[in-house]
Structure 1
Amino acid sequence: MTETATPAEAEPMYLDGAYAPVPDEIDAVDLPVTGALPAELSGRYFRNGPNPVPGDDPGHWFAGHGMVHGVRIADGRAEWYRNRWVRTSLLANADRHAGGARDLAVNPANTHIIEHSGRLLALCEGGLPYELSPELDTVGPVDFRGRLRTAMTAHPKEDPETGELFFFGYGVQPPYVTYHRLSPAGELERSVEIDVPGPTMMHDFAITENYVVWLDLPIVFDFALVSKGMPFQWDDAYGARLGLMRRDGTGPVRWFDIEPCYVFHVGNAREDADGRVLLDGVRYSRRAWDSVWDATGGNTHVNGHELTMAAAESGSSVLYRWTLDPATGRTSEAQLDDRGVEFPTIADARVGRDGRYLYTVGEPEGHDGRGSVVKYDLATGSVAEHDLGTDKLAGEAVFVPAANATHEDDGWLLSVVSDKAGRGSELLVLDAADVAGEPVATITLPRRVPVGFHGSWIADSELA
């Protein structure tokens, strides 16, 4: 009798195909370019994301060690590519606790990389930022001269006019959320505790000219799941609300109840002529949340029973708008499009201000879906889409303004595009005013870049 071979257990999503980690660090120079790189692009594009070391399964996509991929562009050339792990205490197998207390330096630093006051910071909401050199060497954890005693969100907001950096940290013990403000020179000037009911997973927030906008939503830390991977769970009893607070941190937070949902990423917030606050972000219904959390390694079961999901709910994350009226206390909310999207971005000059354009990445459902970069015109409601076909996935599209721009979308979008099967990657340069058109340039990268999270264009002038 012939035995039938048992098929090997499939790799988790985050260790397979376009998501699979790379095994090492490399350097390459004089990268091939198709098309013509704009001569005025002079700087570095950096992209952060999880990349477990060989043989390591972190149990969830969000938990892999941070690796930053960088491309240096100048004089119409792609001068170099390099990738480096962020050399955190976690990567060095340090103990997760110090003297019985949480060590905020022990985190993967795997979510974002930004520049503020001439410093490059690799961010992860689980702990302190890590400073990197322009060549991606790790300098070390940053606590702003001992003043930062909480974790730091991966999504701080820099005011385009004042240069201040606003951020927060959340934790599993009170105070659950703490608000912080950095000066333009990088000094931590203010920290304020924010009262929320429990250990919420607050991934993002927003600012306007006068307000901070808080997202207090029903994904909360669950101690019962600590041994089962990423210990967060949807909790219907927690509720869902948005909060408005003065940016200087004085006065109470005014809360507005909303329909239950989750938001990983905010596009922007702004105040209209009537004093209302408009918040645009990517909304997950309960069904959409369970779908993505299960796929990335999270636990969507309680006591062995699958959580119920309303059949009418969308299984995709979609662009949404909430309108908060401080004068009346009223809230309205509306879906802006039915496409599945994620990673919303805008021009940095429009953060917290009125802006016309918002860019996202299309989220193809299943293997037959099409990758894309999507541009929304919020004034007209029109949508433009750069179609990548069925075999490629687009990464977050970072806007780079053109010199002497006369329109908000004068500039370029940079996106790492990866083959779904894991065969290779390229850095795509699109004309932001003509997203649906042919690429301005395509840089062939010397290796596959795993699908990751967030990045930044760092102009040479910002590091001078």
Structure 2
Amino acid sequence: MTASYLQGNFAPVPDEIETGELAVEGVLPAELNGRYFRNGPNPLPGQDPGHWFMGHGMLHGIRLRDGRAEWYRNRWVRTGQLEGKPFLSRSGIDLSAVAANTNVIRHADRILALVESGLPYEVDRELETLGPCDFGGRLTTAMTAHPKEDPRTGELHFFGYGFAPPHLTYHRANASGELVESLEVPVPGPTMMHDFAITEHHIVWLDLPVVFDLEMIRDGLPYRWDDEYGARIGIMPRDGDGTVRWFDIDPCYVFHVANAREDASGRVVIDAVQYPRDIFVELWKGISGASNPAAQAGGSGLHRWILDPATGTAKEELLDDRPVEFPTIDNRRTGMPNTHLYAVSGQEIVKYDTATASALVHQTEGAPGEAVFVPRNPGAAGAEDDGWLLSLIGSRSELRVLDAADLSHVASVRLPRRVPEGFHGNWFAD
């Protein structure tokens, strides 16, 4: 019986193609000069990786310039795993033998395909793989798929976690892309830490009760919910010695953080998509079959934590019970106060006001991918939502462009093929 994550909109495509001059409905803004890349799992023909998350990484790219869509192409990330190398052998762990299937970012003119279990892979602007990146031998742990670039300094903050000590390591690369700091962060045990956050003065850690369990490998990924582990959020000063102040919170799990910031009183405010225990457990079972967290979040909601260092207390509130995932912001506001955030839910793209949690909705007639914000003029001051949202609707073979201010439909780029359900994408301006 064919696994459900190999069927329907999840079914992998069998090959790499390249086409020029794509059809456009509407008018593409002339300011959109660059490339949209999206990453996701895509096993080779005939392969069953045993879990949706384990398929080989495939990048899909669309080139926009001067109001035209010049090309579409897709390429497997040519990793050690794709070549058949084992991740774990008698000689140890090979951090290059990974899928590189989760995210794709650009930092210091280097484009990296990411997965949290190992090293990033560098690719070029045409999606060809250049090789694994260990920052000149300085990166000896895995690298999260959700690093944070500080828009004020250009530094890239990230971490690695693992099932063997050190369980959590913080890393910082400077604006030139050189890894300049690595610091072990003590935690009680090996957990699945998918995301984190930064603020102006802090690194924000999510130490949550989904733990490594080797016996779970038969189900695809060796992680399970542990009622005994507890749940807490930590804030670590960016200029300190690695000491973390922890705040206990209600048990939950977080795949993705929208943003974190400091308010006028010095409190740390975190907005993220939160899963209570029962909802997470059911979702985790489904992901091993066919549930895309973005399309079938099943009860996740936009949540806020306010951590007060003065009192040592954590306040929690549900901002919206709509099931959403893949929260995004204008990345120029990372770690700073932001007025808007975007998310996807079912067949909707949602825009939130962070002060009121009021929502504006755009219907997509198909499960939308993560909505990536592109500013109209990246170097100029202006309204935070002055720009566009790009979302890949794979089942419709469409890259949709919305006006971020009112979510009106600006244009659609018609792709030459269906794009399988996947994870994260980004816009790389020329």
Give TM-score, length-normalised by structure 1. 0.89
| 1:92 partner SS | coil
| 2:367 partner SS | strand
> Is 1:448 the equivalent of 2:424?
no
State which of 377, 394, 415 in structure 1 corresponds to 2:391: 415
> Is 1:429 the equivalent of 2:420?
no
For residues 62-112 of structure 1, the C-alpha deviation after alignment (integer angstroms, 9 at most, x for no partner) is 111000000000010000000000000000001324662111111100000
| 1:287 partner SS | helix
* Equivalent position of 1:402 in the other structure: 376
Q: Is the 8 A contact 2:390 2:399 kept in 1?
A: yes
Distance (Å, rounded) in 1 between the aligned partners of 2:86 and 2:51: 20
* Equivalent position of 2:352 in the other structure: 376
Distance (Å, rounded) in 2 between the aligned partners of 1:225 and 1:356: 41
More deviation, 96-105/191-200: 96-105
State which of 195, 203, 212 in structure 1 corresponds to 2:194: 203
Distance (Å, rounded) in 2 between the aligned partners of 1:148 and 1:187: 10
* Equivalent position of 1:302 in the other structure: none
Distance (Å, rounded) in 2 between the aligned partners of 1:335 and 1:294: 24
* Equivalent position of 1:310 in the other structure: none
Distance (Å, rounded) in 2 between the aligned partners of 1:96 and 1:374: 38
Distance (Å, rounded) in 2 between the aligned partners of 1:239 and 1:15: 35
| 2:218 partner SS | helix
Distance (Å, rounded) in 2 between the aligned partners of 1:226 and 1:387: 38
Q: 1:55, CA displacement in angstroms? A: 1.1
Q: Which amino acid in structure 2 is aligned with residue 413 of structure 1?
A: L
The CA RMSD measured in Å over matched residues stands at: 1.3
Distance (Å, rounded) in 1 between the aligned partners of 2:138 and 2:242: 22
Q: Is the 8 A contact 2:192 2:212 kept in 1?
A: yes
Q: 1:277, CA displacement in angstroms? A: 0.3
* Equivalent position of 1:306 in the other structure: none
* Equivalent position of 1:236 in the other structure: 227
Q: Which amino acid in structure 1 is aligned with residue 344 of structure 2?
A: V
* Equivalent position of 1:94 in the other structure: 85
Distance (Å, rounded) in 2 between the aligned partners of 1:97 and 1:286: 31
Q: Is the 8 A contact 2:259 2:272 kept in 1?
A: yes
Q: Which amino acid in structure 2 is aligned with residue 444 of structure 1?
A: R
Q: 1:13, CA displacement in angstroms? A: 3.3
Q: 1:315, CA displacement in angstroms? A: 4.5
* Equivalent position of 1:303 in the other structure: none
State which of 161, 168, 189 in structure 1 corresponds to 2:159: 168
> Is 1:386 the equivalent of 2:362?
yes
Q: Is the 8 A contact 1:176 1:195 kept in 2?
A: yes
More deviation, 451-460/246-255: 246-255
Q: Which amino acid in structure 1 is aligned with residue 311 of structure 2?
A: T
Distance (Å, rounded) in 1 between the aligned partners of 2:97 and 2:421: 23
Q: Is the 8 A contact 2:191 2:211 kept in 1?
A: yes
* Equivalent position of 1:308 in the other structure: none
| 1:238 partner SS | coil
State percent identity of aligned pairs.
61
Distance (Å, rounded) in 2 between the aligned partners of 1:317 and 1:57: 29
More deviation, 403-412/200-209: 403-412
Q: Aligned pair in 2 of structure 1 residues 228, 187: CA closer, same or farther (>3 Å)?
A: same
* Equivalent position of 2:117 in the other structure: 126
Q: Is the 8 A contact 1:126 1:152 kept in 2?
A: yes
Distance (Å, rounded) in 1 between the aligned partners of 2:88 and 2:298: 38
Q: Which amino acid in structure 2 is aligned with residue 318 of structure 1?
A: G
Q: 1:216, CA displacement in angstroms? A: 0.3
For residues 338-384 of structure 1, the C-alpha deviation after alignment (integer angstroms, 9 at most, x for no partner) is 1000000000110000000000001x3xxxxxx01000011233210
Distance (Å, rounded) in 2 between the aligned partners of 1:405 and 1:243: 33
* Equivalent position of 1:326 in the other structure: 309
* Equivalent position of 1:180 in the other structure: 171
Q: Is the 8 A contact 2:34 2:65 kept in 1?
A: yes
State which of 235, 243, 256 in structure 2 corresponds to 1:265: 256
Q: 1:27, CA displacement in angstroms? A: 0.2
* Equivalent position of 2:292 in the other structure: none
| 2:228 partner SS | helix
Q: Aligned pair in 2 of structure 1 residues 249, 133: CA closer, same or farther (>3 Å)?
A: farther
State which of 330, 339, 343 in structure 2 corresponds to 1:360: 343
More deviation, 12-21/346-355: 12-21
Q: 1:218, CA displacement in angstroms? A: 0.5
* Equivalent position of 1:340 in the other structure: 323
Distance (Å, rounded) in 2 between the aligned partners of 1:221 and 1:339: 30
Q: Which amino acid in structure 2 is aligned with residue 417 of structure 1?
A: I
* Equivalent position of 1:5 in the other structure: none
Q: Which amino acid in structure 2 is aligned with residue 29 of structure 1?
A: G
Distance (Å, rounded) in 2 between the aligned partners of 1:287 and 1:434: 35
Q: 1:290, CA displacement in angstroms? A: 1.7
| 2:31 partner SS | coil
- Show structure 1 runs of 5+ residues with no match: 1-8, 299-313, 365-370
| Residue-pair matches, total | 421
Distance (Å, rounded) in 1 between the aligned partners of 2:40 and 2:419: 9
Q: Which amino acid in structure 2 is aligned with residue 455 of structure 1?
A: G
Q: Aligned pair in 2 of structure 1 residues 405, 386: CA closer, same or farther (>3 Å)?
A: farther
| 2:152 partner SS | coil
| 2:305 partner SS | strand
Q: Is the 8 A contact 1:153 1:169 kept in 2?
A: yes
Distance (Å, rounded) in 2 between the aligned partners of 1:207 and 1:322: 14
Give TM-score, length-normalised by structure 2. 0.96
- For residues 46-195 of structure 1, the aligned pairs below 5 Å read 46-97=37-88, 100-195=91-186
Q: Is the 8 A contact 1:346 1:359 kept in 2?
A: yes
| 1:169 partner SS | strand
| 2:254 partner SS | strand
| 2:47 partner SS | coil
Distance (Å, rounded) in 2 between the aligned partners of 1:408 and 1:282: 21
Q: 1:405, CA displacement in angstroms? A: 5.3
Q: 1:228, CA displacement in angstroms? A: 3.3
Q: Aligned pair in 2 of structure 1 residues 249, 140: CA closer, same or farther (>3 Å)?
A: farther
Distance (Å, rounded) in 1 between the aligned partners of 2:282 and 2:368: 20
Q: Is the 8 A contact 1:393 1:417 kept in 2?
A: yes
> Is 1:15 the equivalent of 2:20?
no
Which one has a bigger Cα radius of gyration? 1
Distance (Å, rounded) in 2 between the aligned partners of 1:114 and 1:220: 27
Q: 1:147, CA displacement in angstroms? A: 0.4
* Equivalent position of 2:293 in the other structure: none
| 1:14 partner SS | helix
Q: Aligned pair in 2 of structure 1 residues 37, 405: CA closer, same or farther (>3 Å)?
A: farther
